[in-house]
């Protein structure tokens, strides 16, 4: 027995194995991973050793050099990768396809190519970038997201509105519910596993609503998308009351596409007191017959007007499931909901609630601890009513006469004649036990008589909102 020959063969086999492991691990290894001689035998290499995909996904090719049977293994976190072939017995080209990605951070995985019957293997690392999109929710979760015209935006649809703890529940689909400009929202994509929504906007301003549904089709939540180039930090009005309370207002109504006097785009949107979801204001000036603003779906097809969807029976859960339905006053309480809550907009807690309709960092104004109205700065002497422009100018800030939606049926009313801006503080209840009506406070601006005062009205009324900084 030739001991030296046996030992020499053993050494060659050890070196062969070491050489395979090293060469397989080298980035972009293209050379044979075996040694010399007939008993070396094994050849396995793959190039490149790394693949990088954009969020849009796509296909790239691996070059596999082998002289024997092999298999490709993907870990559980690689479900977003598909392969044209995952096994073979000779050299091959493997097409690697990555799915489109709608996530908030880059993702990574790795595939392993193994030589069958041996321990030899090579690894290919794979990465995919997150979408190049704006993140309006990084400032905080909200029921309203302000986004730029002509942009791509990504939100995490996990929590209810302004809450970071109250979960929506597992949804399966996301969609555009309505838009008030045809083509305003160009695309809506989603990933139900990641609970993310990616949407794009056209280079125009307007308002839209995006909602998510469960497997039964029920809407679990929806968000107002305010497409605007308005920067609230640059356009504000601050007021300090005699009691020392400071309010900093946006210079326009929530949902407005303009702050220009005489422009009906300054109307913004209308809200029932305590609801998160907006209703459109009129499409022009008319005190007697205001015109409904047209609504469209993602394909640009016309949708029913909001007044046509009015209903006489409302509850909080129904309002979430039916964000386009205006609930009329049919209760002794004069509320739109059978379960009333005086703190629905933070009038008692002085905190922004889950149902506040304003963007992150902003909220519906409430009376201060002394009961002083946030609109006390609007005075007869300090303001000017413009009949031709249909509104009030106070300290250079425009308050358009956006009118209202009537509490009983949701019909537009008196556009150009007056404005009503909600305050998140409840009004005084009726003292008559037979009519225990509950009210909410609002600031009324009316005609050239300049009726400028804080009043109360049915909570089912649809009025404007002027957000203040938290």
Average of per-residue pLDDT across 9-13: 37
**Percent of the chain at pLDDT above 90?**
70
What's the confidence (pLDDT) of residue 429? 66
Q: Does 358 or 13 have the greater pLDDT score? A: 358
**314-355, pLDDT tens digit by residue?**
999 999 999 999 999 866 778 899 888 999 999 999 999 999
What's the confidence (pLDDT) of residue 400? 94
What's the confidence (pLDDT) of residue 433? 60
15-29, 97-111, 242-256: the lowest-pLDDT one: 15-29
Q: Domains plus CATH for the chain?
A: 21-128 (2.60.40.10), 136-227 (2.60.40), 234-470 (no CATH)
Q: Is the pLDDT confidence value at 283 over 70?
A: yes
Q: Determine the length of the chain.
A: 470
d(CA 100, CA 322) in angstroms, rounded, equals 31
Average of per-residue pLDDT across 378-400: 89
What's the confidence (pLDDT) of residue 457? 87
Task: Please report where in the chains the tokens 């909080």 appear, as a residue.
Answer: 316
Give the pLDDT band of residue 19 (cuts 50, 70, 90): very low
Cis omega (within 30 of 0) for bond into 48: yes
Q: Does 21 or 357 have the greater pLDDT score? A: 357
- Alpha-helical runs (H) found in 72-112: none
Find out whether 383 and 392 touch, Cβ atoms under 8 Å: yes
What's the confidence (pLDDT) of residue 164? 85
What the block records as the tokens of 145 is: 């997201």
What's the confidence (pLDDT) of residue 22? 34
What the block records as the tokens of 204 is: 């125009």
Average of per-residue pLDDT across 412-426: 92
- Alpha-helical runs (H) found in 254-363: 316-321
Give the pLDDT band of residue 427 (cuts 50, 70, 90): confident
Alpha-carbon distances, residue 286 vs 264, 438, 459 (angstroms): 11, 30, 24
Task: Please report where in the chains the tokens 């070059």 appear, as a residue.
Answer: 63
Q: Does 414 or 171 have the greater pLDDT score? A: 171
What's the confidence (pLDDT) of residue 296? 98
What's the confidence (pLDDT) of residue 294? 96
**216-273, pLDDT tens digit by residue?**
999 999 999 999 999 998 889 999 988 899 999 999 999 999 999 999 899 999 999 9
Interior angle at CA 212, CA 195 and CA 318, nearest 5: 135
d(CA 207, CA 205) in angstroms, rounded, equals 7
Query: Considering all CA atoms of the chain, what is the largest pairwise distance in Å, rounded to the nearest integer?
Result: 120
Read off φ and ψ for residue 3, nearest 5 degrees. -60, -45
d(CA 402, CA 421) in angstroms, rounded, equals 9
d(CA 192, CA 57) in angstroms, rounded, equals 18
Q: Residue 354 burial (CB < 10 Å; 0-12/13-18/19+)?
A: middle
pTM: 0.86
Alpha-carbon distances, residue 378 vs 223, 255, 444, 446, 452 (angstroms): 31, 21, 10, 12, 7
Give the 3-state DSSP-derived string for the chain, with helices as H, strands as E and coil as C.
CCHHHHHHHHHHHHHHHHHHHHHHHCCCCCCCCCCCCCCCCCCEEEECCEEEECCCCEEEEEEEEECCCEEEECCHHHCCEEECCCEECCCEEEEEEECCCCCCCCEEEEEEEEECCCCCEEEEEEEECCCCCECHHHHCCCCEEEECCCCEEEEECCECCCCCCCECCCCCEEEEEEECCCCCEEEEEEECCCCEEEEEECCCCEEEEEEEECCCCCEEEEEEEEECCCCCCCCEEEEECCCCCEEEEECCCCCCCCCCCCCHHHHCEEEECCCCCCEECECCCECCCCCECCCECCCCCECCCCHHHCECCCCHHHHHHCCCCCECCCCCCCCCCCCCCCCCCCCCCCCCCCCCCCECCEECCCCCCCCCCCCCCCCCCCEEEECCCCEEEECCEEEECCEEECCCCCCEECECCEEEEEEEEECCCCCCCCCCCCEEEEEEEECCCCCCEEEEEECCCEEECCCEEC
Q: Running DSSP on this structure, what letter comes out for residue 40?
A: T
Q: Does 349 or 43 have the greater pLDDT score? A: 349
What's the confidence (pLDDT) of residue 451? 66
Mean of pLDDT over the chain:
88
Q: Is the pLDDT confidence value at 6 over 60?
A: no
What's the confidence (pLDDT) of residue 71? 95
Q: Is the pLDDT confidence value at 204 over 90?
A: yes
What's the confidence (pLDDT) of residue 403? 93
Question: How many Cα neighbours within 13 Å face the side chain of 457?
Answer: 26
**76-94, pLDDT tens digit by residue?**
999 999 999 999 999 999 9
Q: Is the pLDDT confidence value at 55 over 70?
A: yes
Decide the pairing of beta strands 144-147 and 219-227.
Answer: parallel
Q: Is the pLDDT confidence value at 422 over 70?
A: yes
5-9, 371-375, 452-456: the lowest-pLDDT one: 5-9
Give the pLDDT band of residue 436 (cuts 50, 70, 90): low
Average of per-residue pLDDT across 374-402: 90
Average of per-residue pLDDT across 60-78: 94
Q: Which residues contact 468 (CB under 8 A, 6 or more apart)?
A: 247, 248, 249, 250, 362, 363, 364, 365, 374
Q: Does 4 or 220 have the greater pLDDT score? A: 220
């Amino acid at each position: 027995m030739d001991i030296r020959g046996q030992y020499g063969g053993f050494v060659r086999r050890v070196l062969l194995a070491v050489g395979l492991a090293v060469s397989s691990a080298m980035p972009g290894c293209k050379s044979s991973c075996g040694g010399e001689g007939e008993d070396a035998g094994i050849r396995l290499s793959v190039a490149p050793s790394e693949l990088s995909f954009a969020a849009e996904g796509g296909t790239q090719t691996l070059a596999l050099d082998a002289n024997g049977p092999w298999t490709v293994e993907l870990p559980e976190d690689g479900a977003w990768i598909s392969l044209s072939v995952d096994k073979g017995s000779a050299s091959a080209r493997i097409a690697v396809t990555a799915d489109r990605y709608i996530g908030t951070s880059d993702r990574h995985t790795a595939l392993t190519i193994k030589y069958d019957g041996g321990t030899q293997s090579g690894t290919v690392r794979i990465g995919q970038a997150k979408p190049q999109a704006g993140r309006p929710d990084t400032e905080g979760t909200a029921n309203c997201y302000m986004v730029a015209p002509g942009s791509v935006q990504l939100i995490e649809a996990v929590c209810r509105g302004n809450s970071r703890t109250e979960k929506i529940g597992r949804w399966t689909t996301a969609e555009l519910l309505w838009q008030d400009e045809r083509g305003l929202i160009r695309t809506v994509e989603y990933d139900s596993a990641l609970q993310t929504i990616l949407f794009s906007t056209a280079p125009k301003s307007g308002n839209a609503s995006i909602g998510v549904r469960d497997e039964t089709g029920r809407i679990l939540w929806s968000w107002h998308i305010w497409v605007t180039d308005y920067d609230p930090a640059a356009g504000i009005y601050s007021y300090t009351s005699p009691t020392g309370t400071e309010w900093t207002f946006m210079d326009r109504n929530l949902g407005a596409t303009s702050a220009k006097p005489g422009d009906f785009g300054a109307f913004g949107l209308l809200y029932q007191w305590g609801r998160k979801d907006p209703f459109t204001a009129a499409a022009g000036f008319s005190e007697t017959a205001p015109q409904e603003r047209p609504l469209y779906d993602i394909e640009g097809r016309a949708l029913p007007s909001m007044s046509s969807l009015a209903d006489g029976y409302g509850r909080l859960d129904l309002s979430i499931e039916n964000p386009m339905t205006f609930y009329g006053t049919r209760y002794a309480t004069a509320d739109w909901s059978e379960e009333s809550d005086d703190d629905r907009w933070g009038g008692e807690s002085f905190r922004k609630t889950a149902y506040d309709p304003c963007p992150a960092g902003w909220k519906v104004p409430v009376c201060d601890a002394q009961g002083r109205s946030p609109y006390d700065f609007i005075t007869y002497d300090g303001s000017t009513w413009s009949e031709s422009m249909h509104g009030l100018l106070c300290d250079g800030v425009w308050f358009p006469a956006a009118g209202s939606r009537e509490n009983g049926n949701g019909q537009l009313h008196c556009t150009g004649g007056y404005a009503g801006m909600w305050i998140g503080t409840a009004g005084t209840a009726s003292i008559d036990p037979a009519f225990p009506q509950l009210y909410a406070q609002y600031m009324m601006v009316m005609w050239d008589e300049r009726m400028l005062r804080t009043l109360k009205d049915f909570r089912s009324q649809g009025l404007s909102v002027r957000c203040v900084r938290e």
